[in-house]
Structure 1
């Protein structure tokens, strides 16, 4: 008899998930009863349990102690709190490492990490894989039918803090992976270009991981090793997932991602998104002086896109300050709720935190929590309880989907390749370009989907490509089909340059994208630090303001594209700087220098006009409006990140769910607040 398919969302929840990581093993058992009383008071619906508990669950090899976890899950169930149950495989016990010291990862410099932190794992270790499967099977057999179980939480934040190990076990595993990917040693030599610097291999057995070398190593080897490390972690995830599916059929399995581009750089989440039953994400504000709410929106949009547009779940964020940045400011009044509901607006099925009760000991004791050191007579607790009540009023949003206006291409493997050494300019940063283009679209009050370069893009009137150094020929054909079918494409510089093996495409730059852009690039001309170039509109082109670029310039040769701005100075003076190529029913724009701020807004504004996209007008800066829609209706989220009230025009009347008030033509959103309107009709 076939097993039931895993549910796409946590079992047993009627409304949004609300709660956090619960680590009761840090507290005397009498505190547990106080915790569940407070959970009920705050409206908590689900907690994550057991993520770091391997040493307690299996205190000696093969001897298990589940008594405390039995009592805890029963207590949570009686009090109506659902459980996201972790497999504790991110933190093997001390006894495991004593027996298997080679399961600790080795750095590229030959340093063996020691026990005493978390995530110190050689993912190729057979001993680790066997032990991880063993504890996972024990948990699945014991709790797979427990009435509190809502979903399984495998491991924790794969890739943080270690993704790659360079030991001999990994070397052997890497050679097997290469044989599967490339087939023969001759194919590896071809893919890696080993004729350069005399690096040719005669057998696969000669190949080692890309360990420390006296100067820059082989970039294609390093790119393949990044893929291998990611795939090896994913093998371990799917091994645990399959055990849970087999022994606890119907229960969804997830692992918490960290899609924010600043927080986990070693994981290809496009690949991982296909392996989980529900995409979940951890997001923490990077408080470095930038507009943190824009990065939050970007991470939420990227997570939703990894989920294929389906609802996802924010599994961790912070109630206040974190503990791991150089400076960790507390969140301002109302900021926690605003952050939480911004994720919900962009597709999350709730808001979960790290953690429930703030720790007294350990590395994260200064990380904020839902129950802070100050206890319940505190601003944080009052805001936590208010947020729980607000989320309880949003039951109808479950299963609805966020509506996007435009798309942005992003590829983790291209990012890995571009970040290797000896590129034309260390000032060109793919993440910076993605952040900047996203912020420009955000400031046009547009909601963004992210897409893999080979995805079907036909649903989007505008697609932005901020940085795609690695682009296959298929990607080039895909983008050409998109433009010919009526799409508007905007491509930034240093895109389309190399293939999947980091080999420059034959012929002139930009390789895979020259046909769709209708141009070639004769030469890169990166700029020195602090230097700029001025762009002017040529005679005969639509008049526009002068623009200023920095970091990069190209010597562009039009091959059908029209010139919209030219360089007024620098090496390419008099040559095209920004072009537009009409192809089929659509247009493809190329921006050959780094634009920011109003200058980028000017170019994107014209591209949006090409695409027939009308940005929402009449909204204040840093007020975002996002829609979710589905069988239960259309919900408009208005999020005010400013310190003044803001008005939002509605295209239909409705009911504001957090206050219960009816709204007809204009919604007023108080300073720093969120309003959610269920539109009529």
Structure 2
């Protein structure tokens, strides 16, 4: 099979005479898979119940004849105009009660039974018609759930929220206790009194907001599952997925992963962000980890520029190739783009495509074709997996709770803090899984827990048991503060972690914008910002202290032996060099080394292995050529594939047995044992 390669195919935007050219050029570009039909609802059902699949039959037949697999969309992402005209109640409303109108996409309330009924009816038609089609390889349900309508606050959603609360709490008394409604005279006498957290005169109840975020995620997932149930019934042998988005707050990837046969992601790296490959690394590792290391799909990326940022820079030569190989190196078994042929009209006409407005005689098409050829030349990679000895914890419920209002600081950004902890591991070349705290952690030598503000008692005990049994754990500031209902754990901060950490947080000292504090203690000497805490030691030892500011003289970094393991605590946000120094020491104590020692700055190394072989990927994100030493003589599979030159220049052992390799700017090498 090989690594799948292709993109979104939207033939409804073009006259049929273009379709034959599309197939010819797809073959020339080594396309093996397209996603089709994502926005085709209005064309296959132009009037209620009036189905027109003839044109799409010809599309599917053409793709099958060309040997191109189809990840067939359920077409439900953007309802046709007739549906919202006949049923305006499907349209979503914001927290101020303002209706969101048609004219864009995703204009539906996720809780709407009318929308779900029409969507399921469409999916039944598709499954019955194409379930046995030779082109069908996968189902693509919906599209980018929660991208534009993240939450709806209409009366339909309000009724669905009350149903959800009844199922969750059983009694209104239990709801009142969970939501701390004794505060501000908010006690409910009946579930029918409960509304979504619409715009209020001041801070809405935080527990109500947190539950609405949970409900919103489940409402979107219910739409997905309603369609998936049809597909499982009609086409049980065909896998199904949907395209998640990176660090997408409304959709809990870990909660969705059991319902996705393969994890799939849309990721658009920004050429104007010099280190965006680090963010990509975090998200790719999360995708791979969500289903216990199973290969995943990069379902969308841009061949070059996008259209939706304030400044849409093109990808410079080599960047698209490098970032595509980065996805493969971190577990992707498919590299697809939005979209195949660049649109002439509509909101995304300036979004790049595999086949640009300029046609085949363009840099983009040449680079796309060369990437397709490279991926096709290495058919053994698919199905191989990566292994990691480090787990970094991420929890959507803690994220939702952390970024609600009325906190000691509103500057705490879950995604940025996660990257603050991931970056030192990435730059050190350390393999890392990204997991929720509910997973089994016993296989990892080191666990890193950034900012678990919301931590349930069972999860806290799981962390304690991990350390007691010999694990090494690093915990950062403002963790273990509240329970699942955003209620402060009694017993002093952080109550469920106090014995484990060997300390008490006496007081929070969030830092003002632009302010920093000094940190001193041997190798841990430098600056920190965003946050500080007044720590009282209860068995832990201080490795570094604050040297100025209000917490001057207090511990900033601590270490505590607990059972057979050790736990470190960081009471502030250390500057990057300091965080790297600390994590390097923690890794050493845990016995965790890099994938490849001695990597030059800017070079990423990953390994995938399995029945297809063992592959060492080297990806150079820097602008100057570098030389990398290899652990043993290896062969650059790209350099030897179908006459390709590759980026790796062999040093010292001949073309087939390389013990050192030079990578040019944005260079890629895929190394195997000779």
CA displacement, residues 312-353 of structure 1 (integer Å, 9 cap, x when unaligned): 111000100111001111101111110101000000002100
Q: For 1:365-444, list aligned pairs within 5 A.
A: 365-444=349-428
Please give the alpha-carbon distance, in whole angstroms, between the structure 2 residues aligned to 1:460 and 1:547.
30
Going from structure 1 to structure 2, the CA distance change for 1:413 and 1:288 (only over 3 Å counts) comes to: farther
Q: Which residue of 2 aligns with 1:66?
A: 53
- Larger deviation, residues 444-453 vs 384-393: 444-453
8 A contact 1:97–1:104 mirrored in 2 = yes
* 2:462 alignment partner, SS class: helix
Q: For 1:226-625, list aligned pairs within 5 A.
A: 226-258=213-245, 260-261=246-247, 264-537=248-521, 543-615=522-594, 616-625=596-605
8 A contact 1:475–1:512 mirrored in 2 = no
- Larger deviation, residues 400-409 vs 492-501: 400-409
Please give the alpha-carbon distance, in whole angstroms, between the structure 2 residues aligned to 1:214 and 1:632.
61
Q: Which residue of 2 aligns with 1:136?
A: 123
Q: For 1:665-676, list aligned pairs within 5 A.
A: 665-676=659-670
* 1:401 alignment partner, SS class: coil
Aligned with 1:221 (options 194, 202, 208): 208
- Larger deviation, residues 544-553 vs 172-181: 544-553
Q: Shift of the alpha carbon at 1:550? A: 1.3
TM-score (norm 1): 0.95
TM-score (norm 2): 0.96
Please give the alpha-carbon distance, in whole angstroms, between the structure 1 residues aligned to 2:619 and 2:354.
22
1:677 aligns with 2:671: yes
Going from structure 1 to structure 2, the CA distance change for 1:427 and 1:234 (only over 3 Å counts) comes to: same
CA displacement, residues 121-146 of structure 1 (integer Å, 9 cap, x when unaligned): 11111111110010000000000000
Deviating beyond 4 angstroms after TM superposition, the runs of 4 or more aligned structure 1 residues are none
CA displacement, residues 609-650 of structure 1 (integer Å, 9 cap, x when unaligned): 211123343211110010001112110010011222222222
- Larger deviation, residues 647-656 vs 627-636: 647-656
Please give the alpha-carbon distance, in whole angstroms, between the structure 1 residues aligned to 2:573 and 2:364.
42
Please give the alpha-carbon distance, in whole angstroms, between the structure 2 residues aligned to 1:230 and 1:399.
30
Aligned with 2:114 (options 127, 143, 151): 127
Please give the alpha-carbon distance, in whole angstroms, between the structure 2 residues aligned to 1:609 and 1:63.
66
- Larger deviation, residues 546-555 vs 82-91: 546-555
* 2:405 alignment partner, SS class: coil
Q: Shift of the alpha carbon at 1:409? A: 0.4
Going from structure 1 to structure 2, the CA distance change for 1:545 and 1:504 (only over 3 Å counts) comes to: closer
1:654 aligns with 2:641: no
CA displacement, residues 73-98 of structure 1 (integer Å, 9 cap, x when unaligned): 00111111111100111111101001
Aligned with 2:71 (options 67, 76, 84): 84
Please give the alpha-carbon distance, in whole angstroms, between the structure 2 residues aligned to 1:163 and 1:413.
16
Count of residue pairs the alignment pairs up: 659
1:628 aligns with 2:620: no
- Larger deviation, residues 543-552 vs 199-208: 543-552
Q: Which residue of 2 aligns with 1:8?
A: none
* 2:340 alignment partner, SS class: coil
CA displacement, residues 586-621 of structure 1 (integer Å, 9 cap, x when unaligned): 110000011122111121121112111233432111
8 A contact 1:498–1:511 mirrored in 2 = no
8 A contact 1:403–1:626 mirrored in 2 = no
Aligned with 1:189 (options 173, 176, 199): 176
8 A contact 1:476–1:516 mirrored in 2 = no
- Larger deviation, residues 71-80 vs 280-289: 280-289
* 2:307 alignment partner, SS class: coil
8 A contact 2:271–2:316 mirrored in 1 = no
Q: Shift of the alpha carbon at 1:179? A: 0.9
Aligned with 2:190 (options 163, 183, 203): 203
Q: Shift of the alpha carbon at 1:514? A: 1.8
CA displacement, residues 83-119 of structure 1 (integer Å, 9 cap, x when unaligned): 1100111111101001110100011101001011111
* 2:440 alignment partner, SS class: coil
Please give the alpha-carbon distance, in whole angstroms, between the structure 1 residues aligned to 2:500 and 2:23.
59
Q: Shift of the alpha carbon at 1:288? A: 4.9
Please give the alpha-carbon distance, in whole angstroms, between the structure 2 residues aligned to 1:674 and 1:65.
46
Q: Which residue of 2 aligns with 1:663?
A: 657
Please give the alpha-carbon distance, in whole angstroms, between the structure 2 residues aligned to 1:642 and 1:636.
19
